[in-house]
Amino acid sequence: MTLFNPLNSKKRSQQLKQLLDSEKLVTLPGCYDALSAKLIEKAGIKAGFMSGFCVSSTRLGMPDTGLISYTEMQDQVRNICNITSIPILFDGDTGWGNAGNVYRTVRGYADAGAAAIMIEDQKWPKKCGHTKGKDVVELDEAKARIKAAADASKLNGEKDILIMARTDAIATRGLKDAIDRMNTFRELGADLLFIEAIKSKEDMKTVIKEVPGYHMVNLIEDGETPLLEINELEDIGFKIAVLPLTLMSATVKTMKESLENIKNRKYNTNVSKFEDLRDVVGFNDYYKIEDSYKS
């Protein structure tokens, strides 16, 4: 890892594809800013995921209910890719509009360095997949989004970003509709597949059996989907297990505990050493650059 990273999206998408092809199941922790992404890479983890829930929460202090904009999300993608070399799958929500907006969103994420982008079929304003009040658009509109995303994933005929198609149809239309949609999205060119908020182990097995391809399962603490053991998810046939909120949840818990100590005039002991903190944020890398230009 260096202070500034030159890798483009095509190289990152190839890295991610090779990783998925070579491993039975890949576990992706969720990042939300450049620092959390750096920590994922420093931990030796080979890939990550950026959650729209987390970015809306940390950048705006607001819920994941369609409030964050494309430009704010793309800016976060660029910041993360500037400082990491591992491939990262990024949340692209609904693409912020019609098929033309989806096309622009995919190209914008690719230009920012994303290895993959997730596009979903929710109605706007979209909502976190494990909260109330969501619904999906009709199939024709959903197909247009995924077709536009697949077309935008290729530059000069060569794919430089992977497309994950997501459906939230289980919540309002049931498992069969979700499976039918996912088969359609796969035929339209989606590289990765994601049925959100699967509610049982049996439904998981049904999805894997009826839809060929690389599937992701979303693991949220206290969410709708049961937190089976990772080895069990691997045996069922999932290719990706994402833990999108774990790092942010841990951060919030630790900050609340630290603030309680400060309020009670106590020093915190559950903090990083200042030396370690300086290294994580990049002081040592910066000093190397600075020293190289000294006469």
Q: Is residue 95 part of a domain?
A: yes
Q: Is residue 295 part of a domain?
A: no
For the chain, percent of residues with pLDDT exceeding 90: 91
The answer to whether residues 210 and 190 touch, using CB atoms and an 8 Å cutoff, is no
User: Whose CA is closest to 198, among 173, 220, 161, 226?
Assistant: 226
pLDDT of residue 6: 65
For 270-286, how does the pLDDT look when each residue is reduced to its tens digit (9 = 90+)? Answer: 899 999 999 999 999 99
Q: Which residues of 59-86 are buried (b: 16+ CB within 10 A; e: fewer)?
A: eeeeebebebebeebbebbbbbbbbbeb
d(CA 198, CA 224): 7
Please check the confidence at residue 1 and state whether its pLDDT lies above 70: no
The answer to whether residues 215 and 207 touch, using CB atoms and an 8 Å cutoff, is yes
Q: What is the mean pLDDT of residues 181-206?
A: 97
Strand pairing category for 214-218 and 240-243: parallel
Residue 222, domain CATH: 3.20.20.60
Neighbours of 177 (CB within 10 A): 15
Please check the confidence at residue 265 and state whether its pLDDT lies above 80: yes
For the chain, percent of residues with pLDDT exceeding 70: 99
pLDDT of residue 28: 98
User: Whose CA is closest to 115, among 145, 89, 146?
Assistant: 89
What's the pLDDT band for 8 if we cut at 50, 70, 90? Answer: confident
Look at the chain and report how many structural domains it folds into: 1
* Neighbouring-strand partners of residue 155: 158
Amino acid identity of 71? T
pLDDT of residue 2: 61
- Give the burial class of 30: count Cβ atoms within 10 A of its Cβ; 0-12 exposed, 13-18 middle, 19 or more buried: buried
Strand pairing category for 154-155 and 158-159: antiparallel
Please check the confidence at residue 181 and state whether its pLDDT lies above 80: yes
Q: Is residue 170 part of a domain?
A: yes
Q: Is residue 124 part of a domain?
A: yes
Q: Is residue 228 part of a domain?
A: yes
Q: What is the mean pLDDT of residues 179-196?
A: 98
Residues 6+ apart with CB under 8 A from 33: 55, 58, 59, 76, 79, 80
For 128-159, how does the pLDDT look when each residue is reduced to its tens digit (9 = 90+)? Answer: 878 788 899 999 999 999 999 999 999 888 89
Long-range contacts of 200-206 (CB under 8 A, 24+ apart): 200/226, 201/226, 201/228, 201/232, 201/236, 203/175, 204/228, 204/233, 204/236, 204/238, 205/236, 205/237, 206/175, 206/179
Q: Is residue 216 part of a domain?
A: yes
Q: Please provide the average confidence, as pLDDT, over all residues in the chain.
A: 95
Range of the domain at 81: 9-264
Q: What is the mean pLDDT of residues 176-180?
A: 98
For 50-94, how does the pLDDT look when each residue is reduced to its tens digit (9 = 90+)? Answer: 999 999 999 999 999 999 999 999 999 999 999 999 999 999 999
Q: What is the mean pLDDT of residues 256-268?
A: 97
Q: Is residue 24 part of a domain?
A: yes
Which pair of structure tokens corresponds to residue 67?
């409030």
Please check the confidence at residue 293 and state whether its pLDDT lies above 80: yes
Q: Is residue 187 part of a domain?
A: yes
Our measurement of the distance from residue 83's CA atom to the centroid of its chain's CA atoms, rounded to an integer in Å, reads 16
Q: What is the mean pLDDT of residues 34-43?
A: 96
